[in-house]
Structure 1
Amino acid sequence: MARTPKTWAVRTARDRTEAPVRARLLDAAEAVFARLGYGPATVADITAEAEVSRAGFYVYFASKEDVFRVLAARVRDAFLASQEVPGVDTGDVRAVARESVAAFVAAYARHAPLMPLLEQQAHTDPEARALWQEIRERPVHRHARYIRRLVAEDRARPVAEPLAVARAVGAMSVEFARQVAARRLTHAAAVRDVTAMYLHLLQVAPPGQE
């Protein structure tokens, strides 16, 4: 069957999104923005870092602003993905807590240099502002829904309203992730301490005492 132009266009867009070159450009852009800051960074800096031609850059991104917004969306998606914990028994609250904290701390530590720039751009760029709000709020509200489900199932008795607990755990995770990014704390130590405090806030009984 002949492929229609519309089908071809959709397939081409998907292929470009998944291309390894695109991922390399994104990694390069994140490194350049972290090193130089948003204002001084140029498309030429990004293409040099990625070892991709300028024409190759424009296959995937329209501008420096465009690649920055895509990076912001990638950070948002990384934080949301950290709450998925595939392969973990969702009935094991402690395991879910430990693995989700581990994934979030790792994701935040990886993207830590970009975070101040995302917040800064949010002041002047409406699209960046919307993404920044998603980065800050979507993981917290999803987490609060999870805690409410635990309460409804009588598997946790949090010390405060679920949204407040979710915000507290999020703030702790961010602070400990910053310590990990600065190499003042190991990832394992951060996960151990944040998880302990998280379970305390949830008021989950110790193993064998449910």
Structure 2
Amino acid sequence: MTDAPGRPEWASARALRADKGHETRSLLLDAAARVFTRLGYARTTIADITAEAEVSRPTFYAYFETKADVFREVAARVRDEFLAGHEIPDVDVNDPYALGRASAEAFLAAHAANHELLTVIEHQAITDERIREIWQEITRRPTRRVARYVERLAKAGKADPAATPAVVAEAITGIFARFARQVPADREGFERLVDELTAIYLRILGVDRASG
């Protein structure tokens, strides 16, 4: 007997359990992120996480072995959110203004959403090698991507950067990181900051918006 063409009941049941397992795992990661943000790494306990998620300790251990294990996954999710800011769909990569503004908005939004958690990740990176690798990806990969983009624009004659691509990339990501620590809470202020940082970005790249 099947519940759909070509799918036996046991297969549907297994798929349902997998979906439920994914939901529970996500629930635990969301709860852990909130607790780590609120308490920091050292003060957080597995009991805090299970209480926040409203699940039992055995449920936690069904998905994660230790507090360090779940923290690494939380940190990896933050990393992925930041890197996604440089892979924006439906934006013309040949338009420096459109790509720069979209990237600025995504970066600032990700930083605003994870500001306190980023501090916890940075601190834990001092003693945990795997967290240090994740932290370096958060901080270095975007810079390398910007450098490659600046180099490509310069070679195509679409930009006249103020310095070498590597230095320009360091300057741009440094400026964005500085202002990301104080992102305005109101939408109007946020949009204004995005516009101002995009203007700075274009100036450092040596791109004329009117001709870009």
- Kindly state the Cα deviation for residue 85 of structure 1 after the two structures are TM-superposed: 1.3
Task: Give the conservation status (yes or no) of the 8 Å contact 1:101–1:173.
Answer: yes
Q: Deviations over 1:65-96 (max 9, x none)?
A: 01111111112111111001101122211100
- 2: CA distance between counterparts of 1:55 and 1:19? 16
Consecutive unaligned residues in structure 1, runs of 5 or more: 1-10
- 2: CA distance between counterparts of 1:16 and 1:67? 19
Match of 2:58 in 1: 55
Which of 154, 158, 178 is the equivalent residue of 1:155? 158
Are 2:137 and 1:134 aligned?
A: yes
Residue 146 of structure 2 aligns with an amino acid whose one-letter code is H
Count of residues in correspondence between the two structures? 197
Match of 2:81 in 1: 78
Q: Deviations over 1:143-195 (max 9, x none)?
A: 11111111111111111111111111112212222111777x93212211111
- 2: CA distance between counterparts of 1:111 and 1:79? 10
Bigger-Rg structure (1/2): 2
Match of 1:144 in 2: 147
Are 2:68 and 1:65 aligned?
A: yes
> What SS class does the counterpart of residue 39 from structure 1 fall into?
helix
Q: Which runs of 4+ in 1 moved over 4 A?
A: 15-18
Q: 1:189 to 1:181 in 2, by over 3 A?
A: closer
> What SS class does the counterpart of residue 19 from structure 1 fall into?
helix
> What SS class does the counterpart of residue 86 from structure 2 fall into?
coil
- Kindly state the Cα deviation for residue 115 of structure 1 after the two structures are TM-superposed: 1.4
Match of 1:25 in 2: 28
Task: Give the conservation status (yes or no) of the 8 Å contact 2:105–2:194.
Answer: yes
Q: 1:112 to 1:125 in 2, by over 3 A?
A: same
Q: 1:61 to 1:17 in 2, by over 3 A?
A: farther
Q: 1:35 to 1:107 in 2, by over 3 A?
A: same
Q: Deviations over 1:98-135 (max 9, x none)?
A: 00110011111111101121111111111111211121
Are 2:171 and 1:168 aligned?
A: yes
> What SS class does the counterpart of residue 127 from structure 2 fall into?
coil
> What SS class does the counterpart of residue 37 from structure 1 fall into?
helix
Are 2:106 and 1:91 aligned?
A: no
Match of 2:9 in 1: none
> What TM-score comes out, normalization by structure 2 length?
0.85
- 1: CA distance between counterparts of 2:68 and 2:135? 14
Query: Does 96-105 or 141-150 show the bigger shift?
Result: 141-150
Which of 183, 187, 190 is the equivalent residue of 1:187? 190
- 2: CA distance between counterparts of 1:172 and 1:17? 42
> What SS class does the counterpart of residue 60 from structure 1 fall into?
coil
